Structure 1
Amino acid sequence: MTDQFTLLPQDADLVAAVAGLLEGTDLANCVVVFPGRRPAHFLRKQLYDKIGKSFEPPAVYSMDEFAAVLAEAAGAAGPEIGELDAAAIMHGLEPRLKGLGPLAGKTSADLDWFLPWAFKAYADFEELKKELRTPRDLGAFDLGLEAGEGADVFKRARDFSAKFGGFSKLYAAFYEELAAKGLLTPALKYAAAAAPGAAEAAGLGEKGLVILAGFYQLSRSEQKLIEGLFKLPNFRLLAQEGPGLDARYEFLAKKGLIKAVAGYKAAVPAAGKFTFYKAADTHSEVFALGQVIDKERYSEQDVIVIPSVDALFPVVHNILPEFAENNIAIGYPVSHTPVYSLVESIGRLLDRADGKAYFIPDYLDLVFHPYVKSSLHKGSPELTRIIFQVLQEHFLGRMSRYAELTAIEKDPDFIGAALKRLEHYEDYKAVTAGEITAHIKGIHDAVIRPFEEIKDIGDFAARLLRLVSYVSSSTTAYRHPYWEYFSGRFLALLDGIGGSRLARESFAARPSYFKFFGSAVKGAVYPFEGTPVKGLQVLGLLETRGLKFRRVYFLDANADALNVNGTGDAVLSDFMRGMLGLPTCREREAARKYYFETLLGAAREAHVFYRDNSKSEKSPFVEEILFRLEAAGADREKLENRVFFDLTFKNKEPAAAPKTPWVMKKLAATKFSPSALNHFLACPLRFYYLNVLGLREQEEMTEEISRASIGNIVHRALELYFQRGNRLGRPYKPGDFDEEKAAALFCLKEALAGFHLTDTDKGYGYVMRRQVEKRLEDILRYHMERLPGFTPLAVEVWLETDLTLPSGKTARLAGKADRIDLRPAEAGEKIVIVDYKTGSAAHVPAWQSFDPASPRSGWMDTLRSVQLPVYVLMAMTGKAEVAPGTPDHVSAALKGRGVSDFDARLMLLGRQEILEESLYKQYRSKLPDIPSTFEKYKAAICALLEEILDPALPFEPTKREEDCRFCPFKVMCGRQWVKE
């Protein structure tokens, strides 16, 4: 036993202890090793504070750096490779090794499948090598798996052996190949550093002091390295007490190098040291942090700890601006950056492309990416944004889901709409169609077309480099915060890919390059590597190792951010890792607990924040501290501060809209359609939004074509069918069903083309077309079998009439009827107005229960809809106009007819079985008296119009919340809680 080992209490300052050991020595001749890089800055500052003048500092290393120094001294020389080169070497080895089995779970030789697996396998290989596992160890393990036949404990192991039968062979061959090529990996450096004599070869015995401080989790190579250092009389090992340290240092005690470390017993926390804050989300945590953090008296002894990067930018934007001196040291994933999401969007666009045609929703996602829509035209991104906004509206008016880039660039409708929009902008009135085409083409040429043909991985990396160059020089990205840092890291990754052994490899399909890129940069981070040890510190949990702070503000102390869940992205399962002697989930979680406890245990104040909601729970580490405090007599309710905003969930009724002079002027000039009156019947406030203000719900380009769009196609196909073949104005006498079907399908084809839906021979477009064709067949059969002897007079008929109201006011009614028929009836013939409904839910008025004298609030239950009565009223009293170029068979047919000669019907095309509902349908086998019934409907129409035109009656919201279910304005009026 020697005095080479010192166990510091949890509240000790590890860096100060190291500085104390160095006092009085030749600093330049000393070596200090910490687990990470961060403590080196604090050590140099403490030494400067003690010395008070410039000095030559000791050599301070992280463990990775120290292992590299020892490895080089031991003769392990050569270039170091990364995972890209490692994957390339493994891929080259795989065909030469027999009996490997299906390593990647698919055909191993296929690069698409092999590379993602190889990246994971390389990480496992490195861990095995760092644990000094030899190919013989793994080979013996393979034999052990076979010997375990029938034993339940080996079931998962045997499953692994069956799937990865040659894992140990590839492991052996891989490191043999590296040795033959004179290449190194980080794990090989650790193995070399752990070899006997490495410390002596590095001349460490001749140094003043060699100090290792703050280590907890040690691999087998690190253990061997430390055992070798104990042979040096100038070696010192410092550790800080904490949970699990006794088990970690047991290997030294067994060798007789140190006394056994006693089991950790957590001290009772000092009263008032801990404060806990539970919040609804991360932003609420940051809000609370802003309330409690000391903005006046702060120094490098104050730290905000962020175990999950989700809280980093909320802290950067909401906390750090109030701290003139601050420092960030944390890794931010490249996969979280906008430049990565741009590449991801391009990959998604190419993945779902059909030859040269691109899926429009993916295309719009890409062009509205912040870095694309901000492409500059004469120094400004405004023109680009206007053009893309017009392009989105243009696509919304079409049903096609695919478009070619050339077609977009030259689309006359789009270009015309863009020019018309630009007339409203003084700076862009002079822009020509050619300039718009050239600008869009320039963006396509820079962002999309370069990736249509990719030669190999190196070529792909070069194209991405040019993309980043374009974004940097031709968009506003350079003005965005952190663009310089994120793009710089991105370029470094691309340089690494282009210079790797994978550069000449190629994939069979374009999307595979983007999937490869996602795998290659998955673990890459942009290191916010702060160096000044001055001001408020913002660190990740691992960056706090070995450091003591006066005040700790710990954010996101939740199980999902702080604890270890699963094995991560690895080939070896946690069970297999345990069998092979690799760190398991339990051991990695023990390390996190140690760092958490030592950080908080050394602090004078600890403020712990965590989310408390249905998806998140506090970390068990926090729960354990709360339990200790409760055991010591503390009141949990007083310990936990609730960070929740005061919310009142009382439902406030929507406000009515007054009828201002502007509104009344607009109403006086309005032609009221049947659907507009229906809106007013259901909810006067909805009528105000739709028919007075002219608001419409913003449509979105979705992957599927909406039901409303399909309904428009069916309407148009039926319109064309009846207009052609001399079918209007004469009794409907269809020929052979197949002939009629062929005619209807021809009309459907024209209707699809009219809506620019041309991609109906594959994918969703094909499925949709087949569904519409089947529905058209059903509609055709219904007309041929259920409507004998009817005469279609006209389709898409414009009806209009002036209605004098009881008050003396006049209101104009106008609307388009889908079809007007002349149908045989018991007493002659009837005019039947047909309204197609492609939805399955539509209702006619309940004549038997509706009374215009009843309270207005109950009309939706009885009157239900005034659409059909308004059509009849307009046809009886007004004028009818047919489509231009169509013979007028309607006007003469309507003349001289009384109310009993009219009917209106809903043709429900969306139901499984097509049917019609008449305005005067039977109720309990009884038909209504048509004249008296229609007078009730007319009275209701007049009453609704009187309400609309009365300036004293504001537009009130409906009292029936069920009418709000599908209303697009329920968020505006305040009834967003009503679910569909």
Structure 2
Amino acid sequence: MKTFIEETVEKLLERKNFDLTKTTFILPSKRAGSYLKNVLKSNVKKSIFSPEVLSTEEFIEKISSLKPIDNTQSLFKFYNTYKKLTPKKDQEEFDIFYGWAQTLVYDFNEIDRYLIDVNHFFSYLSRIQDINHWALSNPQTDLIKNYLAFWNNIPNYYRDFKEQLIEDQEAYQGLMYRVASEKIEEYIQKNNHQFILIGFNALNNAEQQIFQYILEKGKGEIFWDTDAYFYNDKQHEASLFLRNYADNWSYYKQQNGFKNLPTYYTEDKNVQIYGIPKNIGQAKQTAQILSTIPVEQLSKTAIILNDEGLLNPLLNSLPQTIEKVNITMGLPLKDTPLAALFEIIFELQQLPTEQYYYKPIIEILNHPFVLNKLGEVSKELQLQIHQENLVYLTKEQILSLSTQETKKLLSPILIKHEQPVALLKALVVFTQSLRYQNSTEKPLETEYLYHFHKLFIKILNLVETNSPITTIKSLHRIYKDSLATESLDFSGSPFDGLQLMGMLETRVLDFENIIISSVNEGVLPAGKSSNSFIPFDLKKEYGLPTYKEKDAIYTYHFYRLLQRAKNIHILYNTEPSGLNSGEKSRFITQLEIESPKNNRPNTQFLNPFVPPRKRELKKIQKSPEVIEKLKKLAQHGFSPSALTSYIRNPLDFYKNYVLNIKDTEEVEETVAANTLGTVVHDTLEKFYKPFENKEITKNDLLIMKKNIVSQVQLEFKNTYKQAPINKGKNLIIYEIAKRYISNFLNKELAELEQHTISIKEVENKLKCKIDISELDFDVFIGGKVDRVDYIDEKLRIIDYKTGKVEKSDLKINDWNLLTTDYKYAKAFQVLCYAKMIFTSNNFTDAEAGIISFKNLNAGFLPFINEKSNNINNEVLEKFEKELIKLILEIFNPEIPFEEKEV
């Protein structure tokens, strides 16, 4: 297969009087120019001076002699014009101006590219606005007057803006085209080169005027890349622009249009269409297709990504056989890990308070670039934040917890900067601080840092020079817009290996094998999106491009790719999630209906194979080392909660008590249930501990009631550390804690009316030995009982629960269920406490049960067996029998720790 560039170069070199050294080649892109140079190198057999090869942008810049400026620079300069021509009382802040000015500058760009008469055009536009909205209003309000004044003033804005830029020898793209169209005659007269124009399609009016002048003066030649199949079809959008040039350019009127067009499109082709769900599915299918292409064919293969979001999944899916990939589309800077870090910093800078929420701080400390600089120091600082439960932190708090190295790194970004210049300088310092000591070891990360450093310097220069930005919010917006246009270029050979590019980068290039992804409606073509103040009918009137022309551009690029290709693979997303998703492009429908018979596509619908995943419950065998660990636990004493953990799920018992794996310490934003329980337990311990072995009086309880607020606050401070309890859910939970204790003390006061209450023990540690003849080592159970008291000489063993407990939770009829069903865990726990109390004290009977603060009206809920709530030696013997069975099971090496289904 000969490419279009190869055919064009061969035609030119066959001419006898063709002088390469006095030729300027002009192509749509720099990439196409690189291909042209490579083809020339292969075809020219003698030493010559290289011809000049320019992209359209470079050619236009050369003619106009103006320096190009980007969109952000244009807006800053336009704001100067706006302030100059707008009365001070009517001037808007840059933040508001920025919102509408982007659209207006875009319209200026289009008007200049298409050489529209500005005065006539904007006069027409202002009259449309008047008729559409305000003509019938009488009298006109100030709002209407200001609105119409704005539209009437736009020609003045344009003229002053244009004059300002030309005076500074600068121009946005459209203005550069307009100036170039005015200077083309002078440029051609001074230049004795021949101009070869290659591979153009959709030309704006300025380009058409320039190219026609070159052709009519005999100073050059143009080569169009199209196929007779499209050109002869008057309805096909792929040839919309070329047919227009053939009909309207005087140069072609003399020659009766285009002649000798090739017929590559009707040759035999293998066209495959794949409907696949999601981007990852397309990436995997692309990899599958690539694995079928011979290695020697890869340099003639291109992957065209219409959605840049496919770049990363595709790069991670490429087959091992692919050694070289040339990526031309670039990695967007906004998709790099560093972009997320700076986004957090901008958000922190815009907070209305001096306090920082802990999560963004943790994100900064956990970011790979910061971790690389701080290492373990970052981990220690995070641990301190978790331990102190710092939900909100001030800059001073963060720095007080930090080392000198951390302070140096974080200070620039933690200080609240009121002025944009100050923040930009801080970001430049911060970026420099993140640099790797050895950049050769981390070339990609160093490249990220370099690009962000360059971006901040660029914005800083703009802000210092023009200074319209007065708020951090405005700066953030400028930063995001600038970031969206920046990318990291990959390095690679454009002539060797697999080529990976976007659709517009394929201009003038040809490949034998092509894979086009995301061919969905709304992606290819892009659809009717419009960012313009100019209505559709006015665009049609003045010949400005509408969505129809933009669709035709993509149609041309799509079908031009297919012309010379032999193997074509087209993929689209079938997943109906999100706007325009799941609908195949009209181009696919067109291929299915209108393609030549020998080119009809074969369509496949693919779904990823998802094998059934049967979740197997985990089993952990008991090794000798595990048995030794269990013996140590038995010597220390199994707690009731440890044993009930085994009943609930043996695997949890293994993780928590054998391996000693604890939950990672996290900042507790909202008071957790266990924290509330701890606060209530500790408050009651402080209240009742002084009354051990004493009788409680009404006066004692009243004194406790007076101290509820201070004691609860103290316990929250001890348990919940520095987290706030004075707002939101935490305030509600704080009030609940006070209410629980107040209600409990009221209940106690009511009981004192009819009974006497004497405290025996409060939160005392207990431990007792369990005699198990089958084991040759000692086994103990141990724990802290919340309260042991006497009510009218009757012993009560009490466990507090802040959660809800029902009477049925403590009732047992079948002793076998006690150690096999977690439903009876609370009954198991109180019996453990009863066993320990009875062992350490020679009691004959007692009651053991729970006081549930969520079910306080039920009062003391006793353990019940066979309709009796009395606990005696007979009951404890039955319990001990079940307890021994449970402990023997735990120590049985033949019974693994087996996960239970939830």
TM range (shorter): 0.7 to 0.9
1:898 equivalenced with 2:844 (yes/no): yes
What SS is found at the alignment partner of 2:893?
coil
CA RMSD of aligned residues (A): 4.4
Q: 1:296 to 1:631 in 2, by over 3 A?
A: closer
Q: For the Cα contact (< 8 Å) 1:276–1:609, is it kept in 2? A: yes
Give the deviation of 1:948 after TM superposition. Answer: 0.9
- Give the C-alpha shift of residue 50 in structure 1: 1.7
The CA distance in 2 between the partners of 1:618 and 1:547, in whole Å, is 28
Deviation at 1:189, TM superposition (A): 0.6
1:694 corresponds to which residue? 660
- The structure 1 residue matched to 2:176, chosen from 189, 193, 201, is 189
Which secondary structure state, in structure 2, belongs to the residue aligned with residue 672 of structure 1?
Answer: coil
Instruction: State the match for 2:735 in structure 1.
Output: 774
1:666 to 2:629 alignment:
yes
* Aligned mates of 1:904, 1:868 — CA distance in 2: 6
Q: Tell me, yes or no, if structure 1 residue 648 matches structure 2 residue 641.
A: no
Q: Give the secondary-structure state (helix, strand or coil) at the position aligned to 2:61.
A: helix
CA–CA distance in structure 2, aligned partners of residues 202 and 160 of structure 1: 47
**Whole-angstrom distance in 2 between the partners of 1:587 and 1:865:** 78
Q: Indicate how the Cα distance of structure 1 residues 94 and 782 shifts in structure 2: closer, same or farther if over 3 A, else same.
A: farther
Q: Are the aligned partners of 1:667 and 1:949 in contact in 2 as well (CA < 8 Å)?
A: yes
Q: Partner of 1:620 in structure 2?
A: 585
What's the counterpart of residue 43 of structure 2?
50
Paired position in structure 1 for 2:188: 203
Q: Return 626-635 or 683-692, whichever deviates more.
A: 626-635
Does 2:381 align with 1:391? yes
Give the 3 Å change call, closer, same or farther, for CA 324–574 of structure 1 in structure 2.
farther
- Offset at 1:365? 0.8
* Corresponding residue of 1:528: 490
Give the distance between the partners of 1:589 and 1:871, measured in 2 at CA: 79
Letter in 1 for 2:371: K
> Aligned ranges for residues 215-234 of structure 1 at < 5 Å?
215-233=200-218, 234=220
1:745 is matched with which residue? 709
| Equivalent AA in structure 2 for residue 87 of structure 1 | L
Paired with 1:920 and 1:525, the residues of 2 have a C-alpha distance of 70
- 1:944-976 Cα shifts (integer Å, max 9, x gaps): 222112222211222xx3xx3xxxxxxxxxxxx
Residues 829 and 864 (structure 1), Cα distance of their counterparts in 2 relative to 1, 3 Å cut: closer
Alignment-derived partner of residue 374 in structure 1: 372
**Residue 179 (structure 1) aligned with residue 163 (structure 2):** yes
Post-superposition offset of 1:939: 4.1
What are the superposed Cα offsets for residues 211-263 of structure 1, whole Å, 9 maximum, x if unpaired? 33333333343344445445333342514245513433454355354467999
TM superposition score normalised by structure 2: 0.82
1:897-936 map, 5 Å: 897-899=843-845, 901-909=846-854, 918-920=861-863
What SS class does the counterpart of residue 216 from structure 2 fall into? coil
* Structure 2 unpaired stretches of 5+: 136-142, 231-235
For residue 307 of structure 2, what is the amino acid of its counterpart? S
Query: In structure 2, the residue corresponding to 1:192 is in which secondary structure?
Result: helix
Distance 1:626 1:240, change over 3 A: closer
Secondary structure of 1:472's match?
coil
Residue 658 (structure 1) shift:
1.3
Judging changes above 3 Å, is the alpha-carbon distance between structure 1 residues 733 and 93 closer, same or farther for their aligned structure 2 residues? farther
Query: Are the aligned partners of 1:132 and 1:191 in contact in 2 as well (CA < 8 Å)?
Result: yes
**Distance of 2:410 and 2:693 partners within structure 1:** 53
Deviations 1:890-941 (A, max 9, x none): xxxxx44334x222215245x8x88667243799xx7656557666554443
Residue 37 and residue 219 in structure 1: after superposition, are their counterparts in 2 closer, same or farther (change >3 A)? same
Q: Deviations over 1:568-593 (max 9, x none)?
A: 8x465997996897655554344334
In the alignment, the residues of structure 2 paired with residue 18 and residue 635 of structure 1 have an alpha-carbon distance, to the nearest angstrom, of 29
User: 1:741·1:777 contact (CA, 8 Å) conserved in 2?
Assistant: no
Map Cα deviations across residues 751-793 of structure 1 (whole Å, 9 max, x no partner).
33324643528xxx63244213321232134224333235665
Q: CA deviation at 1:667?
A: 1.0
Relative distance call for 1:867 and 1:735 in structure 2 (3 A) is: closer
Q: Is 1:604 aligned with 2:604? A: no
CA distance in 1, matches of 2:827, 2:701: 38
Q: Kindly report which structure 2 residues correspond to 1:634-645, keeping only aligned pairs within 5 A, or say none.
A: 639-640=603-604, 642=606, 644=608
Give the 3-state SS of the residue equivalent to 1:786 in structure 2: helix
Matched-pair contact (CA < 8 Å) for 1:82–1:185: yes
CA contact (8 A) 2:269 2:568 kept: no
Q: Which whole-Å CA distance do the structure 1 matches of 2:424 and 2:440 have between them? A: 21
* Residue 240 (structure 1) aligns with: 226
Q: Distance in 1 between matches of 2:545 and 2:761?
A: 80
State how far apart, in whole Å, the 2-side matches of 1:161 and 1:274 are: 60
- By how many angstroms is 1:185 displaced? 1.7
SS of alignment partner, residue 29 of structure 2: coil
Indicate if the aligned counterparts of 1:69 and 1:202 stay in contact, CA closer than 8 A. no
Identity over aligned pairs, percent: 17
> Is this contact kept in 2: 1:558–1:618, CA < 8 A?
yes
Counterpart of 1:836 (choices 786, 801, 804) is: 801
Amino acid in structure 1 at the alignment position of 2:109: E
**More deviation in 548-557 or 272-281?**
272-281
Q: CA deviation at 1:517?
A: 2.0
Change (3 A) 1:627 1:284: closer
Corresponding residue for 1:975?
none
Letter in 1 for 2:199: G
Partner of 1:417: none
C-alpha distance in structure 1 between counterparts of 2:698 and 2:534, whole Å: 73
* Pair 872,455 (structure 1): closer, same or farther in 2 beyond 3 Å: same
Aligned to 1:32: 25
- The CA distance in 1 between the partners of 2:544 and 2:827, in whole Å, is 72
Secondary structure of the 1:343 match is helix
TM-score calculated relative to the size of structure 1: 0.76
Give the equivalent residue in structure 1 for 2:837.
875
The 1-side partners of 2:257 and 2:826 are apart by 85
Supply the distance in 2 between the matched residues of 1:937 and 1:596 (Cα, whole angstroms): 80
Counterparts of 1:661 and 1:577 in 2: how far apart (Å)? Answer: 87
Q: Aligned partner of 1:166: which letter?
A: F
Of 768, 779, 790, the match for 1:801: 768
1:364 matched residue in structure 2: 362
Rounded to whole Å, the distance in 1 between the matches of 2:266 and 2:693 is 93
Give yes or no for contact 1:845–1:865 (8 Å, CA) kept in 2: no
Distance in 1, Cα, partners of 2:147 & 2:857: 56
Pair 1:255 & 2:242 matched:
no
Measured at CA, do residues 562 and 17 of structure 1 come closer, stay the same or move farther in structure 2, by a change above 3 Å?
same
Change (3 A) 1:848 1:364: closer
Does 1:822 find its partner at 2:822? no
Distance 1:582 1:916, change over 3 A: farther
CA deviations 1:287-336 (Å, max 9, x no partner) are: 75265254631464222323333343455566497555543322321111
Please tell me the residue identity of whatever aligns with 1:387.
V
Aligned residue number for residue 718 of structure 2: 754
The AA in structure 2 aligned to 1:640 is Q
Match of 1:463 among 426, 437, 443: 426
Alignment partners' CA distance in 1, 2:721 and 2:534: 49
Structure 1 pair 82/284, CA: closer, same or farther in 2 (3 Å)? closer
* Number of the residue aligned with 2:105: 122
Query: In the TM superposition, what are the counterparts of 1:47-446 in structure 2 within 5 Å?
Result: 47-72=40-65, 77=66, 79-95=67-83, 97=85, 109-115=92-98, 118-119=101-102, 121-133=104-116, 134=118, 136-149=120-133, 166=150, 169-170=153-154, 172-180=156-164, 182-183=167-168, 184-195=171-182, 198-203=183-188, 209-233=194-218, 234-241=220-227, 243-249=236-242, 251-253=244-246, 255=248, 257=250, 258=252, 270=268, 272-274=270-272, 276=274, 278=276, 281-282=279-280, 285-286=283-284, 289=287, 292=291, 294=293, 296-298=295-297, 300-316=299-315, 319=318, 322-323=321-322, 325-352=324-351, 354-355=353-354, 357-375=355-373, 384-404=374-394, 407-408=397-398, 410-411=400-401, 440-446=403-409
Structure 1 partner of 2:139: none
Partner of 1:538: 500
Q: Which runs of 5+ in 1 are unaligned?
A: 1-10, 103-107, 152-158, 376-383, 412-436, 879-894, 965-980
Q: CA deviation at 1:549?
A: 0.7
Q: Secondary structure at the match of 1:217?
A: coil
Q: Is the 8 A contact 1:205 1:232 kept in 2?
A: no
Q: 1:101 to 1:332 in 2, by over 3 A?
A: farther
